[in-house]
């Protein structure tokens, strides 16, 4: 292990079995480094490599393997056959709004009597609300399809089941499509689709909420002989949700994201096209573009105003309407960024002014006036800076409500669950969660959460990790090497951009700081220092927020770098660039 001048720790992944790597390298006619990357990802044979490099729709699982799918389709068929009013209900984030757009759009093609509903983040909070149920009952919606929420709404579903005064003796039935971890009790809905249910044998557990909604649509299509090709226009929404919700891009998610990105690039829906035009994006979209460009703009509507704005953007077929909605979304995102920045700076000051904070293993901040819509982003920024399990709380409707973010390798959901006696409600994943508690329980929760985390977290998890896939010589970075590397995409959790380490590197002497503390330099390697200049390997390198290293690399002494390889376009010229994650002295 190498240690850097910052608090990052460099770890090298164990290499794959050497005989397997050599055999795969020979079979695929690729370098040992590339073959090793495949083996590290569980790809060990020619056929597995073919499936990895060429995802196939044949590898999607039968949707009827999901618990309650048959019941869900039967109830949906009855609603369609009887002309019942159907309400598509979803969470207000990217995953929820894309899921609503997908299921609503599909049902419209069936001439369903359908509308959609998104709860108000500030008046109703997360998930299924009594207000939403009342709205459904008052407007005679006898079937509600809840997307990206509902798995822990036991009391709310019980409340809905008591709504029995609708026309024709109907009641408000729910089909839940969720992907969050269930509680001990499953809600008594007509059907509860969630691959994380203990009693669900669906082979892939990591679908996004929109992904579960897509499986519902796929199941209906299978039963009614609708060609899968007719579902292609919805795959872009699945790709956006999968990328933005930071779920693993492995298994079925890899297939859905691969084809979703292809559709997104070839046939962007008017709303997405509007975002791209307004942000002047003209290149082929990747998962990273969804995470940093598309996702935040879709998210902004639910964070700052009304999530219906995001759904309208995603479902409109009119380019002029899309551009108009896109401009609103862009403006909302600018507002979000301003609020987010101000609250983040405030949070930084609160931490720096608290001498006791530096000895803690958690960050739990509460400030009643913080904007509820951005506290999840603020929690992420605090986690990046101080690298400890983090919860940011604000006041809403007389209670403290907040978002939690974890460090790699620590299950924050379990830690929060251990404090459930102090909570009104909570839910989420291993690395992110939401919670609500009484105001008087904020201080006791801060102390108990600190005790729980301190007693369970391993010390090394509090130091940010740079996980390195392989050592690499700069001379091994060629266009053909990069072309194969690109076929490892789509990248994301479970299949991250490979990170390489190169040692005995030095700068050619023109390193500088650009932008907001970004380090820019030209890297070459000691191994070819005796070659004439024309024979050496030079690569432009950029280290975001690594300006502190400028004095180190200006010493004219060798150093080590860990980095990913990417394409950079400047003045119409495309070249390979090293995106440096960290630098270490030898």
Pairing state between β 399-405 and 390-396: antiparallel
Beta bridge partners of 144: 87, 174
96-133 pLDDT per residue, tens: 999 999 999 999 999 999 999 999 887 887 889 999 99
Cα–chain center distance at 205: 15
Largest CA distance in the chain: 88
319-367 pLDDT, tens digit per residue, is 999 999 899 888 988 998 999 999 999 999 999 999 888 889 999 999 9
Q: Could you tell me what percent of the chain has a pLDDT over 70?
A: 97
**Mean of the per-residue pLDDT values for the chain?**
92
Residue 421: φ, ψ to 5°: -65, -15
Identify the pLDDT of residue 7: 67
- pLDDT at position 531, please? 45
Q: How would residue 415 be classed by pLDDT, with cut points 50, 70 and 90?
A: very high
The residues near 44 (Cβ < 8 Å, ≥ 6 apart) are 16, 20, 24, 38
CB 145 within 8 A of CB 120: no
The top-scoring range by mean pLDDT among 100-104, 305-309, 567-571 is 100-104
pLDDT at position 586 is: 63
Q: What is the pLDDT confidence band of residue 283, given thresholds at 50, 70 and 90?
A: confident
Task: Name the pairing type of β-strands 465-468 and 432-438.
Answer: unpaired
The Cβ of residue 192 has, within 10 Å, a number of other Cβ atoms equal to 27
pLDDT digits (tens, 9 = 90+) for 364-379: 999 999 999 899 999 9
CA atoms of 221 and 130, how far apart (whole Å):
32
Q: What whole-number distance in Å separates Cα of residue 104 and Cα of residue 494?
A: 30
Q: For the chain, which domains are there?
A: 9-17+467-585 (2.40.50.460), 63-227 (3.90.1640.30), 354-462 (3.10.310.30)
- Give the C-alpha separation, 255 to 40, whole Å: 19
Judge contact between 101 and 179, C-beta under 8 A.
Answer: no
State the pLDDT at residue 375.
Answer: 93
Looking only at the bridges linking them, the beta strands covering 432-438 and 425-428 are antiparallel
């Amino acid at each position: 292990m190498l240690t850097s001048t910052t608090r990052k720790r460099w770890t090298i992944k164990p290499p794959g079995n050497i005989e397997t790597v050599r055999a795969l390298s020979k079979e695929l006619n690729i370098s040992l480094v590339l073959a090793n990357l495949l083996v590290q990802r569980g790809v060990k044979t020619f056929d597995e490599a073919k499936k990895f490099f060429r995802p196939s729709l044949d590898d999607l699982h039968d949707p009827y393997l999901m618990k309650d799918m048959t019941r869900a389709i039967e109830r949906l068929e009855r609603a369609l056959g009887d002309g019942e009013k159907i309400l598509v209900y979803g969470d207000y984030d990217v995953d929820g709004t894309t899921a609503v757009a997908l299921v609503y759009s599909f049902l419209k093609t069936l001439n369903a009597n359908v509308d959609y509903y998104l709860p108000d983040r500030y008046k109703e909070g997360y998930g299924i609300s009594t207000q939403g149920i009342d709205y459904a009952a008052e407007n005679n919606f006898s079937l509600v399809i809840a997307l990206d929420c509902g798995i822990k709404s036991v009391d709310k579903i019980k409340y809905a089941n008591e709504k029995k005064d609708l026309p024709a003796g109907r009641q408000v039935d729910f089909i839940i499509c969720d992907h969050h971890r269930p509680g001990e009790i499953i809600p008594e809905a007509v059907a509860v689709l969630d691959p994380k249910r203990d009693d669900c044998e669906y082979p892939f557990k990591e679908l996004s909420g929109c992904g579960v909604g897509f499986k519902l649509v796929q199941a209906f299509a299978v039963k009614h002989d609708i060609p899968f090709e007719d579902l292609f226009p919805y795959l872009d929404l699945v790709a956006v949700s999968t990328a933005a919700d930071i779920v693993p891009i492995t298994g079925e998610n890899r297939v859905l994201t691969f084809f979703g990105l292809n559709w997104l690039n070839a046939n962007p829906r008017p709303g997405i096209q509007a975002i791209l035009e307004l942000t002047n994006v003209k290149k082929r979209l990747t998962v990273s573009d969804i995470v940093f460009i598309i996702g935040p703009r879709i998210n902004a509507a639910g964070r700052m105003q009304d999530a219906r704005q995001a759904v309208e953007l995603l479902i409109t077929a009119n380019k002029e309407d899309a551009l108009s909605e896109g401009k609103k979304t862009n403006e909302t995102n600018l507002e979000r960024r301003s609020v987010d920045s101000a609250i983040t700076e405030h949070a930084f000051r609160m931490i720096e002014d608290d001498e006791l904070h530096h000895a803690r293993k958690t960050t739990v901040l509460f400030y009643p006036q913080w904007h509820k819509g951005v506290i999840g982003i603020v929690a992420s920024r605090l986690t990046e800076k101080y690298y400890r399990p983090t919860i940011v709380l604000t006041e809403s409707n007389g209670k403290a409500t907040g978002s939690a973010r974890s460090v790699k390798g620590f299950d924050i959901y379990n830690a929060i669950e251990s404090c459930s006696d102090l909570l009104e409600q909570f839910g989420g994943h291993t690395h992110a969660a939401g919670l609500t508690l009484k105001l008087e329980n904020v201080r006791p929760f801060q102390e108990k959460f600190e005790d729980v985390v301190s007693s369970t977290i391993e010390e090394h998890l509090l130091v940010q990790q740079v996980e390195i896939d392989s050592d690499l010589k700069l001379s091994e970075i060629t266009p053909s090497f990069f072309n194969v590397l690109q076929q490892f995409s789509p990248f994301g959790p479970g299949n991250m951009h490979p990170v390489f380490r190169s040692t005995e590197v030095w700068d050619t002497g023109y390193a500088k700081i650009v932008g907001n503390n970004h380090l820019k330099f030209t890297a070459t390697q000691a191994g070819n220092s005796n070659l004439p200049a024309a024979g050496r390997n030079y690569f432009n390198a950029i280290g975001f927020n690594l300006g502190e290293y400028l004095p180190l690399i200006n010493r004219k002494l060798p150093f080590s770098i860990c980095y990913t390889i990417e394409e950079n376009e400047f003045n119409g010229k495309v070249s390979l660039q090293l995106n440096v994650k960290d630098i270490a002295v030898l």
